[in-house]
Chains A and B, each alone.
Chain A
Amino acid sequence: MLFYLIKRLALGVVIVMLAVTLLFCMIHLVPGDPARILLGPRATPELIAGMSARMGLDQPLPIQILLFFGNLFRGDLGMDVITNRPVADMVFGQLPYTLWLIFTAIGFAMVIGIPLGCYSALHRNTLIDRVTGVLSVACITVPAFVVALYSLLIFAVTLNWFPAVGAGEQGNFWDQVRHIVLPALAIGLSWIGYLARLVRASMLEVMGENHIRTARAYGLPERVVVFRYALKLAVLPTVTVIGVGMGFLLSAALFTEIVFARPGIGKLIFDSITTRNYPVVMGSVLVSTVLFVISTTLSDLVNAWLDPRIRSSL
């Protein structure tokens, strides 16, 4: 178990390092000098050289990467070239907003999606199952930013039920809740459909397995068969999917943060890209990558905790 954990963490570190290296290579390989792009066409060569030095771009590529990792170990993600603030402060200042948004969205999707999927599986081919099925597909297929636009249009602009922009007043819990409803809905809607379908499919599969037949053959009440014997197995794939889904969640969060002008890591990335602020882009992408690695590792651990077969093969 400990061996597995160490292996997973080592792999995660390798993936993050590889990702950073790839990004550096990309910056280096694509035509155009980031410093020149940042400063605009009328910048003097001296200015550009100065900016290159500030961004660390005057060093050879391997040195740049090494320097970046060296700073990383000290918790330093570099400096924002425009405001001269540490990137780490900026990123970690924005991160809680995004995390709250993602957790609210996924929590809300789980609370609705999983029971819906179970219900559909157990009442297969009934009207409700079919309606849920079609609605789930519809939910999955509508992109998050379209949902965001419509909820903004309907609930914020037209009906004026919820605020349209921002994350709410610091320290005012209810205001923050009011501000998170629409963005979380925008992200979570497709996940409701996704989880409902996933749980339905895996529930149907589990209900067809031999051990469920055994449980029924021993006369266990259907309630016990479903909730104790089948459900635990049926949610296993959900854990993996949510773990891997961190990437999609972050992408969706980016759109909703922009649409609702909400602070967060997605908005930070977008804003720094429009201002060509590379250190901030770099830092935010790195943090997102780390988030992804953490969430997949966590989901594997939860799976191992839920499934003794995985646990003992570790």
Chain B
Amino acid sequence: MIDILRRITREPLGMIGLVLVVLIVISALLAGVIAPYDPIELRIVDRLQGPSAAHLLGTDQLGRDLFSRVLYGGQVALKVALISIGAALGVGVLFGMIAGFGPRWLDNIIMLFFDTIRSFPTVMFALATVALVGPSLETVIAVIVVTTIPNYGRVVRTQTLSIRSNEFIKAERAMGASMVRILGVHVLPNVIGPLMILASMDIPTVIALEAGLSFLGMGVKPPTPSWGSILNDGYTLIRNTPWPIIAGSIPLVLITLGFTFLGESLRDLIDPKLRKNI
């Protein structure tokens, strides 16, 4: 583990990725300490200011400090990303391994469901759900979990299928090993590595999706700060001030770059053959 870390820091891009991720994660975690203002406190007097020493990124139309809102928005983004990817990973691995190792008919049924979910364009599916249930953080997480499960499930299935035809699995079967033992001891350890890399590279996608939904007003409820809702404010104010757009997009771009660089160097180190399009 430490060895991997050391090798990542040796690569310039890996190092940049690591620094960005650590920086943003820490600043989100410590938002309560670092943030100079309350992110939801209204100060109409200070509205629509440009950057200054008092307001590093300026203020929005309600006079809220954008820098503080960006810091707190990071908490929302990370929360959504970690919970939804964790859950999707768990369910995806389970169904993927069952599809890859189980009988053919079960595989077909699981794949049919995966394909069906995949055929909904994610954002449209998310909007339809939000329209029915109403916007909330939980809805966003649920939608992301449902729409990401097929991605992981398909990767795990493909990997399981290729591992399944290996001789060492046949050897375990011939020795009479149970299905649970084969999956847990022999398949899972060979699947999980590449999957973790994929998951780390998915974090930016999920964060972008959360921001997108909040941008459309279908994510977190105002006044909770989110990068997406800051951008939405920016969109409505686009002819007045560019700062909310800049403030909302900077962390979004930095964290996506950070996780992508990190994930890519991890992938190159651990499994150079793994490609994004499995």
Chain A–chain B contact at Cβ < 8 A:
yes
Report A111 CB to chain B, min CB distance, Å.
20
Find the A residue at minimum CB distance from B118. A247
Chain B residues near A141 (CB, 8 Å)? 204, 208, 253, 256-257, 260
Q: Is the CB of B119 within 8 A of A149?
A: no
Question: Are B112 and A14 in contact (CB-based, < 8 A)?
Answer: yes
- Scoring A residues 3 to 37 as 1 if CB is less than 8 Å from chain B, else 0, what string do you get? 00000000100111011001100110011101000
Cross-chain contact B121 with A251 (CB below 8 angstroms): yes
Most chain A C-beta atoms within 10 Å of own C-beta, residue among B119, B215, B238, B260? B119
Measured CB to CB, the nearest residue on chain B to A19 is B116
CB–CB B121/A288 < 8 A: yes
Decide yes or no: A26 and B119 within 8 Å by CB, A140-B260, A141-B256, A198-B277 being known contacts.
no
- In the complex, the answer to whether A26 meets B277 with C-beta atoms within 8 Å is no
Could you tell me if B252 and A27 are in contact, using CB atoms closer than 8 angstroms? no
Is A237 in the interface zone, CB < 8 Å from B? yes
Q: Are A259 and B235 in contact (CB under 8 A)?
A: yes
Q: Is the CB of A22 within 8 A of B231?
A: no
Q: Is A30 a contact of B261 with CB atoms below 8 Å?
A: no
Q: Do A255 and B123 touch across chains, with their CB atoms under 8 A apart?
A: yes
Q: By the criterion CB–CB under 8 Å, are A285 and B124 in contact?
A: yes
Q: Contact mask A105-147 → B, CB, 8 Å, 1/0?
A: 0000000000000000000000000000010011011110110
Q: With an 8 A cutoff between CB atoms, is B27 at the interface?
A: no
Contact present for A145 and B245 (CB under 8 Å): no
Q: Is the interface of A mostly helix, strand, loop or mixed?
A: helix
Task: Please give, as numbers and ranges, the residues of chain A lying within 8 Å of B253 by CB-CB distance.
Answer: 141-142, 146
- Check B127 against A247 for contact (C-beta < 8 Å): no
Which residues from chain B contact A250 at a C-beta distance below 8 Å?
121, 123-124
Tell me which residues across on chain A come within 8 A of B277, comparing CB atoms. 198, 237, 240-241
The total number of A-B Cβ pairs within 8 Å is: 138
Q: Which of B118, B121, B122, B133 contacts A30 (CB 8 A)?
A: B133
Mostly, the B contact residues are helix
CB distance from A147 to the nearest CB of B (A): 9
Question: If A153-B245, A284-B124 touch, does A143 touch B212 (CB 8 Å cutoff)?
Answer: yes
Q: Is the CB of A142 within 8 A of B256?
A: yes
Question: How far is B232's CA from A4's CA once the two chains are assembled, in angstroms?
Answer: 47
What class of interface size applies to chain A in its complex with B? 35 or more
The residue of chain B having its C-beta at the shortest distance from the C-beta of A282 within the complex is B128
Q: Which residues from B are CB-within-8-Å of A244?
A: 118
- Rounded to whole Å, the gap between the CB of A286 and the closest CB of chain B is 10
Q: Is A235 an interface position by the 8 A CB rule?
A: no
As a 0/1 sequence over residues 238 to 277 of chain B, the CB contacts with chain A under 8 angstroms (1 = contact) are 1100100100010011001100110010000000000111
Known: A26-B129, A140-B260. A251 touches B116 (CB 8 A): no
Contact A143 B252 (CB under 8 A): yes
Q: A138 to B116, alpha carbons, bound, how many Å?
A: 31
In the assembled complex, which residues on chain B have CB atoms less than 8 Å from the CB atom of A11?
112, 115
Cross-chain contact A137 with B238 (CB below 8 angstroms): no
Closest residue of B by beta carbon distance from A277: B131
Determine the distance from Cα of A139 to Cα of B277 in the docked complex, in whole angstroms.
17
Q: Is B120's beta carbon under 8 Å from chain A?
A: yes
Contact among A18, A30, A197, A276 with B116 in the assembled complex (CB-CB below 8 Å): A18
In the assembled complex, the Cα of A14 lies from the Cα of B277 at a distance in Å of: 25
Whether, in the assembled complex, B13 has its beta carbon less than 8 Å from a beta carbon of chain A, the answer is yes
A191 within 8 A of B: no
B212 contacts A281, C-beta separation under 8 Å: no
Report how far A150 CA is from B238 CA in the complex, Å: 10
Interface string of A236-265 (1 = CB under 8 A from B): 010011001011101100110011000000
Instruction: Tell me if B37 counts as interface (CB < 8 A to partner A).
Output: no
Which of A141, A198, A266 neighbours the largest number of chain B CB atoms within 10 Å of its CB? Answer: A141
User: B113 contacts which chain A residues (CB < 8 A)?
Assistant: 18
* Cβ–Cβ contact B131 & A157, under 8 A: no
Q: How far is the CA of A250 from the CA of B260 in the complex (A)?
A: 23
B133 lies within 8 A of A251 (CB):
no
Write the chain B residue with the least CB distance to A143.
B208
Give the CA-CA distance A34 to B112 in the complex, in Å. 29
List, in ascending order, chain B residues with CB within 8 A of A32's CB.
132-134
User: B210-247 interface mask toward A, CB cutoff 8 Å, 1 = contact, 0 = none?
Assistant: 01100110100000000000010011001100100100
Name, among B129, B131, B211, B218, the residue most crowded by chain A CB atoms within 10 Å (CB to CB). B131
Q: Which residues of A contact B260 (CB under 8 A)?
A: 137, 140-141
Complex Cα distance, B216 from A255, in Å, reads: 8
Q: Give the distance in Å from the alpha carbon of A246 to the alpha carbon of B124 in the complex.
A: 13
Answer whether residue A87 sits at the interface, using C-beta atoms and an 8 A cutoff.
Answer: no
- A30/B124 contact (C-beta < 8 A), A137-B257, A137-B260, A237-B277 known: no
**Chain A minimum-CB-distance residue to B108:** A11
Residues from 132 to 152 in B contacting A, C-beta threshold 8 Å:
132-134
Cα separation A34 to B128 with both chains bound (whole Å): 12
What are 28 A-to-B residue pairs whose CB atoms are below 8 Å?
A22-B116, A22-B117, A23-B128, A34-B132, A137-B257, A138-B257, A141-B204, A141-B208, A143-B212, A146-B249, A149-B231, A149-B235, A153-B242, A197-B276, A198-B275, A202-B275, A237-B275, A250-B124, A251-B122, A255-B212, A266-B124, A273-B127, A273-B128, A273-B131, A276-B131, A285-B128, A292-B119, A293-B119
Q: A149-B249, A273-B130 are in contact. List 10 more A-B contacts (CB 8 A).
A: A26-B128, A143-B208, A143-B256, A157-B239, A202-B275, A241-B277, A244-B118, A254-B121, A255-B215, A273-B128
